Amino acid sequence: MSLDWNALGQVTAVSIGVTVAVVVVFALGVLGLARHEGARDEADGASALGTAQAALCFLACAAVVAYGIWLIVPRFH
Amino acid sequence: MDHITFLVAVVIVTALAFDFTNGFHDTANAMATSIATGALKPRTAVLVSGVLNIVGAFLSTEVAKTISGGIVDDTLVSPAMIFAGLVGAILWNLLTWLLGLPSSSSHALFGGLIGAVWVGAGSHGVHFDKVVEKVLIPAVASPVVAGVAALIATYCAYRLTARARRGSVTKGFRLGQIASASLVSLAHGTNDAQKTMGIITLTLISAGALGHDAGPPVWVIASAGLAIGLGTYIGGWRIIRTMGKGLTEIQSPQGFAAETASTTVILASAHLGFALSTTQVASGSILGAGLGRRLAEVRWGVAGRMVAAWLITLPAAALVGGVSASAVKHGGDLGTVVVALVGAALAAGIVLLSRRNPVHANNVNDAHEVTIRTEPPAPVGTAA
């Protein structure tokens, strides 16, 4: 029996790395969203900044999702 | 189609029945946390998941060339053994569903095939080193990896958003959950519907109805996709309750972290050629997400029962597969009919038992226990 420890290690590293990265970026996006909504309620100027932060982060997450779909469909490879 | 004998027809119907149980057993993997946090309404969740499973089935035409990935010697496998193996897998899937336990449909299928081949062709037909390499090691490693990923991600998510407005945070993560859950469903459709297509195609090849190296005909792709999609839509609500409510109380940031971890582990391993169980990955993620949030209660009793079910899935399905194989081997067509009838009767019995204390879209989030008796909160697991 030959167990490919290298591949197992790769799966572990990639999985943990990507998961944490996506969730952190998404959390930052949610923070931007919260800032936007908070600023809107208090008529503060930070609204636009929050929106931009949210948009940027969610766009990055959407790119990861697109890559995920690319991985799922073998015809794209 | 004069190549389609009685046995081949029975195998096709049984394979589609397995595909159906696979679908409703695994709805929870993608949708349990979304349903628990209210990101999606229960009915909407199973509809989205079902449709994406069908789409997934059509997306990928790379059918596995082997039935089992080398776990059994495919040259020794006859349609009769496939039938016996499928019966074992279906019955085990239904029993674990009755108990609300998320167990692996793939392990049930492997177990059923191992048992059937062992009895039908002898122990040399089973490659035990491959069983360790392809089943046991991923089964231990994948939930741990997914759990650790979800744990760290959950911790980070709560740290980052600790001082933000609760309402905005919950809403934001709920939206994210819809995307991540959809991706799990899509990946599930491509992986699991493929297994059934592979089985039907290889059966047709062995019966001479298709040439060697033939791909699955369109009707096979369509029926396998529909069976798994329909199963998903019917929804294994008992398992959804256990995974969404039973293991731990899930909030939307945890749900998002768990589903992201599941998606990443599934895609990373598929890309690198590791076969693993979606169910075990998703359960590991949910436990990790439970541990990552302070004050979240993890019910280790439920987790323990679930792990016990994982351990006995393969041998239990193998036992049923072996018994069915010996009946089919010695009884011929009559044996096949008897096994099919007994299997159908047991399946109907399990469904009837589930009626005593049904779990459905309207009450899935009401409690965290799945019980069989009508008497209120009797602890589950006594029948296992």
Residues B207, B12 contacting (CB under 8 angstroms): no
CA distance A39 to A34: 8
Distance from CA of B54 to the nearest CA of A (A): 13
Distance from CA of A48 to the nearest CA of B (A): 16
Over residues B68-112, the pLDDT tens digits come to 667 888 778 888 899 999 999 999 999 999 999 999 998 999 899
The reported pTM is 0.89
CA distance B49 to B239: 15
List the domain range (segments joined by +) for residue B236: 6-133+178-248+313-355
Nearest to B188 by CA among B347, B29, B372: B29
Residue B94 maps to a domain: yes
CA distance B377 to B371: 7
Distance from CA of A32 to the nearest CA of B (A): 9
pLDDT grade, residue B384 (50/70/90)? very low
Over residues B231-259, the pLDDT tens digits come to 999 888 999 999 999 999 899 999 999 99
Residues 20-49 of chain A with CB under 8 A from chain B are 20, 22-24, 26-31, 33-35, 37-38
Over residues B292-306, the pLDDT tens digits come to 997 778 999 999 999
CB pairs under 8 A between A and B: 133
Inspect the interface and report whether the beta carbons of B145 and A33 lie closer than 8 Å.
Answer: no
Residue B1 maps to a domain: no
Which residues on B lie below 8 Å from A66 (Cβ)? none
Distance from CA of A5 to the nearest CA of B (A): 11
Residue B110 maps to a domain: yes
Residue ranges per domain, chain A?
7-76
Q: What is the DSSP letter of B134?
A: I
Residues B92, B317 contacting (CB under 8 angstroms): yes
**Residue B72 forms beta bridges with which residues?**
B126
Residue B371 maps to a domain: no
Query: Taking 60 as the threshold, does the pLDDT of residue B32 lie above it?
Result: yes
Segment B8-30 mean pLDDT: 93
* pLDDT score for B225: 93
Residues B37, B174 contacting (CB under 8 angstroms): yes
**B173 — contact with chain A (CB < 8 Å)?**
yes
Which of residues B65 and B248 earns the better pLDDT score?
Answer: B248
Inspect the interface and report whether the beta carbons of A27 and B161 lie closer than 8 Å.
Answer: yes
CA distance B49 to B232: 7
Amino acid type, B308: A
Residue B324 maps to a domain: yes
Residue B156 maps to a domain: no
Segment B156-167 mean pLDDT: 91
Residue B382 maps to a domain: no
What is the gyration radius of the CA atoms in chain A, in angstroms? 18
- Other C-beta atoms closer than 10 Å to the C-beta of B61 total 15
How many domains does chain B contain in total?
A: 1
Over residues B302-342, the pLDDT tens digits come to 999 999 999 999 999 999 999 999 998 888 889 889 999 99
Query: Taking 70 as the threshold, does the pLDDT of residue B67 lie above it?
Result: no
Inspect the interface and report whether the beta carbons of B161 and A68 lie closer than 8 Å.
Answer: no
Over residues B170-199, the pLDDT tens digits come to 999 999 999 999 999 988 888 888 888 888
Residue B115 maps to a domain: yes
Over residues A6-18, the pLDDT tens digits come to 888 888 999 999 9
Which residues on A lie below 8 Å from B186 (Cβ)? 69, 72
CA distance B28 to B242: 9
**A12 — contact with chain B (CB < 8 Å)?**
yes
Output B203-211 pairs: Cβ under 8 A, ≥24 positions apart. Answer: B203/B8, B203/B11, B203/B12, B203/B15, B203/B79, B203/B82, B204/B3, B204/B4, B204/B8, B206/B77, B206/B78, B206/B79, B207/B3, B207/B4, B207/B5, B207/B8, B207/B79, B208/B3, B209/B1, B209/B3, B209/B4, B209/B8
